[in-house]
């Protein structure tokens, strides 16, 4: 069977995209780049994000059988911030951001702040407490709120970034299309 068959190989085949868009595996220096700094950035960001989430859960605990509003709002607000961050990093129109910004802020802080494990635990707790309707409402509302938040925040951020670009008065600028 060829490497392009159904068996997984050690890496992407010819013409395949790299998993991390910030790394070009065709550039030897990037292929051999040490990952210690990236791992440290993710770990430091994760400690910040998880601590913030834990602090909010202490300030806004869910009573037994109660709807877990804190986790819902943590996940929705974290998704909104992910939408803002990704637009600013990938579409901001400014010079390239620091290479550790996305691992620290996106994967670390916001990955540690948002939480699928607490979402699943809250869902399970509501079911165990006989609150099936609340559990199902929580499951659905969280998905809708999280996806809606990332979409809305990214859309608003795109509009804001486009509206304040340098040289806006002089014409459309690079990469902009006049319609």
pLDDT digits (tens, 9 = 90+) for 2-29: 444 444 445 455 555 445 666 676 777 6
Q: Are 67 and 115 in contact (CB under 8 A)?
A: no
Q: Taking the CB of residue 148, how many other CB atoms lie within 10 A of it?
A: 13
Q: Is the pLDDT of residue 148 over 90?
A: yes
pLDDT class of 149 with cuts at 50, 70, 90: very high
What's the pLDDT score for residue 90? 84
Q: Is the pLDDT of residue 177 over 60?
A: no
Q: Are 69 and 137 in contact (CB under 8 A)?
A: no
How far, CA to CA in Å, does 99 sit from each of 8, 41, 45, 177? 29, 10, 14, 29
What's the pLDDT score for residue 13? 53
Mean pLDDT of 88-117: 86
Mean pLDDT of 58-74: 92
**pLDDT tens by residue, 103-134:** 999 999 999 999 889 999 999 999 999 999 99
pTM exceeding the 0.75 threshold for the entire prediction:
no
Q: 71: closest CA among 137, 118, 111, 112?
A: 118
Q: Which two tokens stand for residue 164?
A: 């304040």
Distance CA 126, CA 129 (A): 5
Buried b (16+ CB within 10 A) or exposed e, 46-74: bebbbebbeebbeeeebeeeebbebbbeb
């Amino acid at each position: 069977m060829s490497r392009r068959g159904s068996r997984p190989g050690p890496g992407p085949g010819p013409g395949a995209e790299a998993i991390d868009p910030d790394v070009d595996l065709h550039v030897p220096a990037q292929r051999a780049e040490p990952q210690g700094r990236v791992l440290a950035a993710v770990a430091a960001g994760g400690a910040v994000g998880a601590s913030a989430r834990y602090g909010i859960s202490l300030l806004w605990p869910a009573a037994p059988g109660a709807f877990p509003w804190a986790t819902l709002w943590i996940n929705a607000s974290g998704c909104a911030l992910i939408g803002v961050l990704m637009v600013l990093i990938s579409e901001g129109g400014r010079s390239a951001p620091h290479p550790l910004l996305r691992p620290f802020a996106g994967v670390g802080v916001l990955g540690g702040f948002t939480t699928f494990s607490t979402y699943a635990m809250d869902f399970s707790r509501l079911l165990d407490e006989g609150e099936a309707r609340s559990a199902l409402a929580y499951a659905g509302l969280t998905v809708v709120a999280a996806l809606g938040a990332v979409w809305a925040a990214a859309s608003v951020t795109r509009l804001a970034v486009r509206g304040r670009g340098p040289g806006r008065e002089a014409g459309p600028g690079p990469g902009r299309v006049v319609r």
